[in-house]
Amino acid sequence: MAGELKVTLVRSKYGRLKKHAACLRGLGIRRIHNPVVVKDTPENRGMINKVSYLLKVEEA
């Protein structure tokens, strides 16, 4: 798992659970349709899986 992932927020973070908003902050996501490149690590994968219903994920 030594790659990078491009993560884009496609649905609003407002009105979500606090833990889900914290995952978005941990990934460095700030606003909708603004892609962020993160390392493909188990920690980041876990955060992405938790809020996958808000995100679009691509190989970077």
Host domain of residue 31: 4-59
Exposure on the CB side of residue 49, measured as CA atoms within 13 A: 7
Nearest Cα residue to 57 out of 12, 27, 30: 27
- How do residues 13-55 score in pLDDT, each as one tens digit? 999 999 999 999 999 999 999 999 999 999 999 999 999 999 9
Pairwise CA distance, residues 2 & 15, whole Å: 34
Exposure on the CB side of residue 23, measured as CA atoms within 13 A: 20
Pairwise CA distance, residues 37 & 33, whole Å: 13
What pLDDT does residue 60 have? 84
Q: Residue 21: which CATH number?
A: 3.30.1390.20
Name the domain count of the chain. Answer: 1
Pairwise CA distance, residues 56 & 59, whole Å: 10
